[in-house]
């Protein structure tokens, strides 16, 4: 079994560095089976969101997995339709009910628009009430990042953003250093980009270590200190993705991968565009 690595957050909690994501995995058996497979392999971190509309299936998988709830790290995210003092508190209670759990390990603000400051105050109250262990943000890259970090009583533990070898977010990492906030990566393999995955350096290192190109990319993330949760519903892929803890890239190999950073994003929508197009969305309870 793989030996999972952990990162100590700025609030002292230890988060499993590797997890499984369920973005765009349908509610029902597909989510349940994917999560159960991951948990049975030793994965201990699940990343979901209200907007994904599959929290109930995540909760069902956790209950049926046979793994103690205290060993599992569940992350979910609040959508802006539930931002604001009072509204966020109610949204957290609904989330706990959907997941069928008495606490969340990590709760994130999914987007950086709407009344995110009011939402943050309710999230801080939820931590004090024992409903949530750690709190953080997602998709905060504008100056709204500093606004929330400078005014928060409990500073964000993580910021979840697009992050992969083509877009390594080094400037954002520097901005977060003084807050002790760490980065989580969605699109850890660049949204499955064939151009990225087939880079010569990954082919060469794959041959050297007897691993797939994807495993080399995921191993790079681990050594970079990024938190990752690649998505898959294929049991063999889930197993292969997690099989990255028994080898280590050299410092020179890490530098070769770092040299791939070219500023290329795969999700290209400005904050204003996101607010216009996503702002009216209201996930069902």
**DSSP per position, 137-203:** EES--STHHHHHHHH-SS--SEEEEE-BTTB--HHHHHHHHTTT-EEEEESTTTTT-HHHHT-HHHH
| Residue 213: other Cβ atoms inside 10 A | 20
- Show which residues are catalytic: 52
d(C-alpha 121, C-alpha 218), whole Å: 34
Question: Rg of the Cα trace of the chain?
Answer: 18
The counts of H helices and E strands in the chain are 12, 10
Give the tokens for residue 116: 């995110």
d(C-alpha 231, C-alpha 47), whole Å: 9
φ, ψ of residue 265 to 5 degrees: the values are -100, 155
**Cβ distance 159 to 249 under 8 Å?**
no
Q: Helix, strand, coil proportions of the chain in percent (round to 5)? A: 45, 15, 40
Q: In what order do the strands lie in the sheet with 158-162?
A: 20-21, 45-47, 73-78, 104-109, 132-138, 158-162, 182-186, 227-228
């Amino acid at each position: 079994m793989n030996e999972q690595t952990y990162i100590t957050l700025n609030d002292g909690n230890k988060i499993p560095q590797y997890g499984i994501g369920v973005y765009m995995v349908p509610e029902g058996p597909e989510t349940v089976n994917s999560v159960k497979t991951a948990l049975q392999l030793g994965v201990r971190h699940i990343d979901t969101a209200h907007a994904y509309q599959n929290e109930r299936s995540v909760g069902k998988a956790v209950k049926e997995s046979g793994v103690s709830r205290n060993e599992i790290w569940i992350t979910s995210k609040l959508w802006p339709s539930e931002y604001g003092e009072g509204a966020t508190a109610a949204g957290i209670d609904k989330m706990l009910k959907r997941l069928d759990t008495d606490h969340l390990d990590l709760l994130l603000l999914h987007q950086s628009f709407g009344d995110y400051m009011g939402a943050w105050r309710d999230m801080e109250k939820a931590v004090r009430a024992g409903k949530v262990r750690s709190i953080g943000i997602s998709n905060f890259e504008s100056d709204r990042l500093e606004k929330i970090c400078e005014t928060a009583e409990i500073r964000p533990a993580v910021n979840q953003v697009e992050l992969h070898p083509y877009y390594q977010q080094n400037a954002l990492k520097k901005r977060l250093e003084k807050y002790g906030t760490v980065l989580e990566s969605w699109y850890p393999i660049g949204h499955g980009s064939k151009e990225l995955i087939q880079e010569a350096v990954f082919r060469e290192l794959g041959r050297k270590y007897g691993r797939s190109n994807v495993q080399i990319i995921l191993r790079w993330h681990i050594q970079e200190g990024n938190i990752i949760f690649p998505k898959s519903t294929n049991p063999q892929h889930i197993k292969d993705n997690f099989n990255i803890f028994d080898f280590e890239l050299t410092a020179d190999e890490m530098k070769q991968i770092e040299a791939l950073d070219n500023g290329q994003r795969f999700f290209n929508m400005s904050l204003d565009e996101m607010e216009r197009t996503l702002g009216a969305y209201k996930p069902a309870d």
